[in-house]
Structure 1
Amino acid sequence: MRHILHSTYYLAAAGLLGLITLPALAQEAGTDANESHQAGIAANTESPLPKTITVLVDQGFTFHGIFEAPDDLQGYALSYDNEPMAAYISSSSDYAVIGTLIDPQGNAVMESQLQALVLEPMLEAAWSAFENTRFISEGNDDASHIVYTLTDPNCPYCNALWKNSRPLIEQGVLQLRHVLVGVLSEDSLRKAAAILEADNPASALETHELEFRNGGIKPVEPSEESQALLRKHAQIMREAGATGTPTSYYRDEAGKVQRINGAVSTDQLREILGVE
């Protein structure tokens, strides 16, 4: 849900950080409602950062770049725990406000700048990490659409997505690539290891998902190799900004990486990917 404050945002100044309002980037592909505020973006700046922004960085925020905002405001693209957010400082103030900037009509502005500086690089890095790790693929190698999904063996929503993706896989338009994680419980870790260490991991995953309601695959004690891989996948998951499973990633028609949070129906998946 988008949080919009119609007056003053929570302030962060002189080392004091208030509550933070996170901007929502629906389906991770939001654009500014008011295109007249499109402005220049700089991924880096050689100028010293304002003290307020430095304070935020010292408190664990990551600075990604600056952008021009309306009414003599300077925008600062930040993230906290891989969640994008923006801070704004006017030329006549040492105070910063964090939140979603809106115009007099109530339309959110500046989100495309924030996405370009924070979210797009994060999603591209996630895609690269998925490509360079061990995943379990289902579907044709020449499928027109590739989706990476973070899958926990004990996640019922992962099981729902698995079921809902069958028609597209059988149609030959989707290759679903599972990046296994074991984040829900210790049992998840053991089941993920059992799938990874099977003679045929793809077949083991299929059997597990088909028998999900009955407990699925029998857990095993993870090998050192499996433990290392699953630790790596947990780290990739954090850096990709995923807060739960399943979280899925695909490229849109423009070639940009987009993110799907949670399970979606077969029809929703078709609409998202743009397939009949």
Structure 2
Amino acid sequence: MPTHFLFKLFSSALLVTSVLLTGCNDAPGTGATEKSAKTTSAPVSMAALAAQAIGFTAGSQMSARTVFVFFDAQCPHCGVLWEAAKPLKSQAKFVWIPVGILNASSTSQGATILAAADPVAEMDKHEASLQAGQGGISAAANIDANKASIAKNTELMTSFGFASIPVIIGTNAQTGALVTQEGAMPTAALAKLLGLQAPAN
């Protein structure tokens, strides 16, 4: 493995605790950027997400505050965000929306998570497998309908003009403003973006 690649990986790990992490993209050499206005993109809409996105909920089911997260099952930064969001789950309902942009496993693994009786547990199992270098969960059988849902989610994400994952979309609890972010964030930065209370260290 080239030395410069190892250095990039090490540098990214150091940035987790201090700045926004980059995101995954299907185009090499591109990183996460904050959402900017694109004339060819549809306006980001919480209502459209609630009506069209197909995902699963992690966090407070009774919370009036919803945060949508587009993720790819093969994206390591999405796994970082999955863990970073856990300390905030009592303050918001995180709806995780699988897409397929990185490789063939993205769709099959995302569909398997969607089809699981307990998607949160399946996601934890998947992330543990990725961390162990085992590539993630095996694809389940009879998930064609779920694969179709992944395709719809991917189309919805790209219709908003997003190119990197994960994508965070919500409203700030303090200001009510719509907030979006491409790329993973540590817990404190995520709490600040969403206007939530950061957990004590």
Match of 2:84 in 1: 164
Identify, as 1 or 2, the structure richer in strand.
1
Residue 270, structure 1, aligned to residue 188, structure 2: no
Residue matched to 1:209 = 127
Residue 190 (structure 1) aligned with residue 146 (structure 2): no
Cα distance change on mapping 1:181 and 1:78 into 2, 3 Å:
closer
Instruction: Report the number of matched residues.
Output: 161
1:123 matched to 2:41? The reply is: no
- TM-score normalised per structure 1: 0.53
Could you report, residue by residue, the CA deviation over 1:133-182 in whole angstroms, capped at 9, with x for unpaired residues?
3211101123363210001110000000011111111xx11221101112
State the one-letter code of the partner of 1:259. Answer: T
Q: What is residue 242 of structure 1 aligned with on the other side? A: 162
1:177 aligned counterpart, secondary structure: strand
Change (3 A) 1:221 1:240: farther
In structure 2, C-alpha distance between the alignment counterparts of 1:199 and 1:141, rounded to whole Å: 16
Change (3 A) 1:139 1:210: same
Structure 2 unmatched runs, 5+: 1-32
1:129 is displaced (CA, Å) by 2.8
1:190 and 1:222 in contact (8 A); partners too: no
Question: Which secondary structure does the structure 1 equivalent of 2:39 belong to?
Answer: strand
Of the three residues 134, 144, 165, the one matched with 2:54 is 134
Question: Aligned AA for 1:131?
Answer: A
Contiguous gaps of at least 5 residues in structure 1: 1-25, 30-76, 83-120
Change (3 A) 1:220 1:183: farther
Q: Normalising by the residue count of structure 2, what TM-score does the alignment of the two structures yield?
A: 0.71
Between the aligned partners of 1:190 and 1:137, the Cα distance in structure 2 is 19
For 2:96 and 2:67, how far apart are their aligned partners in 1?
A: 9
- 1:15-43 Cα offsets, whole Å, 9 max, x none, are xxxxxxxxxxx8559xxxxxxxxxxxxxx
Letter in 2 for 1:218: S
Summarize the Cα distance change of 1:240–1:167 in structure 2 as closer, same or farther, 3 Å threshold: same
Identify the residue that residue 233 of structure 1 maps to in structure 2: 153
Select the structure with the greater relative contact order (CA < 8 A; seq sep ≥ 6): 2
Root-mean-square deviation (CA), in Å?
Answer: 2.3
- Tell me which amino acid in the other structure corresponds to 1:267: A
Identity of aligned residues (%): 24
2:65 maps to which of 127, 140, 145: 145
Larger radius of gyration between Structure 1 and Structure 2: 1
Q: Classify 1:187/1:259 alpha carbon distance in 2 versus 1 (closer, same or farther; 3 Å).
A: same
User: Residues 2-17 of structure 1 correspond to what in structure 2 (within 5 A)?
Assistant: none
CA deviation profile, 1:171-227 (whole Å, cap 9, x unmatched) = x11221101112110011111121122222222122212332132211246633122
CA distance in 2, matches of 1:176, 1:210: 20
AA at the equivalent of 2:60: N
Contact 1:145–1:273 (CA under 8 A) maintained in structure 2: no
Equivalent position amino acid for 2:192 in 1:
E
**One of 159, 176, 180 as aligned partner of 1:259:** 180
